[in-house]
Chains A and B, each alone.
Chain A
């Protein structure tokens, strides 16, 4: 492309007036920094990005159609396969919307277990995001530590539901299995262990000068940009707004727990990093409180044999690992959904990328891409 244009570069300088030679750089769809099949067409002026266009849909599976052509219970396993790193949250949202529509009361013990598993899941999801991101930046060691710790969480999950990734642990009105002492004691032991590890992570990575130089002041996504694009999760909290669905639209029994919503005003990649690190600490706090208060009793409510939802439309949102996950379910009174919309956080978090990376150099843009912690099946559904 040759055109007269003015580009303001991230460093502060600008080049203007002269026609410029630019070239197109194709990142992906198979690229290690994308962690999946994401393609980005970038127009480059030397090292600088003048425009970028993410191209998605390579692993689109049409989950929303599957939600329409099978019964509510049959769609349940699909929900683990949207964001495979935070499967518990997605299943939670789906059972939540059905319970809201059918007015099912969930037993208190099941709600506590849902909260404990959701927070464990959040930690494991952030661990992968953290490790993989630091690997993108050139540090190979942290991901090995992260997977080591995540392994402990996966072992706990495997013990209660038999799966290590696609759990499908929730049922409408409850859970498929009760937890036993092994799980409860294992989770209790995990909390102090993880606190020690988080301190080690701080020493190893957070205070590392190379990480600071790569992330601080780079990849600015401010609150106004997040609002116009609907970016949520660590992205909006890294822009200084303490928006968390657990507080904004309290679901399950989150209103009973004492926890903070970490937020940093800088809006740069480092802020998003710090939000995730602090969130793991807060998740541990919630787990501790839930373990102290968990009551006995049943874990499954009584349900009719064939579940039919009253006609109407219902929404249910949860704070998933990467942000707000919302389901809009339209029912016409039959035993299948008339329409099932899955609003996923990664799609909305990626959409400001094109605007945010303009004028950045390529390695910084890829560091910012890592800060969004994308899971591609979550975008493509």
Chain B
């Protein structure tokens, strides 16, 4: 059964729940303008459930990345998903406090997430709890104890 945009929107709205602070947690966006079809904001403890939902619908992991919002004191983790047979792109994002950035790993659902999470840990210092191998660094030098994409990083 192939997923449709309406179905995903509905299921994600159910997953995210009635969060009053984020009225537009599940957004259908214009692909031609943004390059994704669905943009979902979830709580940090919901990323695994979101990955399971997309896994059930046959999605594949595209990439995982972070964004450092220094002014807001937050770290954002963005999960990009793609589908090989249905032309749908979904972005799932979550925000964690900048001084203690921890997100549960989704490498148990998508093994491909393993390397993307290690890379995100390298660059931003975001810790993925339950990840099988958070150190040594993935792309950075073996002894690197810095996170170069943090906005307050000084070389």
Contacts and interface: CB of A to CB of B under 8 A. Distances in A.
Interface stretch (A60-68, A108-116, A271-279): A60-68
| Interface size grouping (class) on chain B | 35 or more
Contact of B35 (A57, A241, A315, A352): A315
Contacts of A231: 112
Interface of A: 56-57, 60, 62, 64-65, 68, 97, 100, 103, 223, 226-231, 236, 241, 243, 248-249, 312-317, 324, 326, 328, 330, 338-339, 341, 343, 347-348, 351-352, 355, 380-381
Contacts, number: 106
B150 to A, nearest CB: 10
Interface stretch (B6-14, B16-24, B41-49, B76-84): B76-84
Contacts of A100: 32-35
Contact of B80 (A243, A249, A343): A343
B126 interface: no
Nearest to B67: A339
A213 B138 CA distance: 36
A313 B36 CA distance: 10
Interface in B94-120: 110-112, 114-115
Interface of A, secondary structure class, is mixed
B84 A241 contact: yes
A317 B61 contact: no
Contacts of A68: 149
B111 A57 contact: no
B124 to A, nearest CB: 10
A227 B123 contact: no
Nearest to B88: A248
Contact of A352 (B112, B123, B137, B141): B112
B112 A60 contact: no
B52 interface: no
B15 interface: no
13 contacts: A57-B137, A223-B84, A227-B58, A228-B111, A228-B112, A229-B112, A236-B84, A241-B85, A317-B35, A326-B62, A338-B67, A339-B68, A355-B111
Nearest to B109: A228
Contacts of B148: 62, 65
B87 interface: yes
B67 A347 contact: no
A228 B84 contact: no
A250 B78 CA distance: 23
A328 B63 contact: yes
Interface in B111-155: 111-112, 114-115, 123, 137-141, 148-149
A184 B32 CA distance: 31
Contacts of B84: 223, 226-227, 236, 241, 243, 248
Q: Give 9 closest A-B pairs by Cβ, nearest first.
A: A315-B35, A229-B112, A57-B139, A343-B63, A341-B65, A230-B112, A243-B84, A60-B139, A230-B61
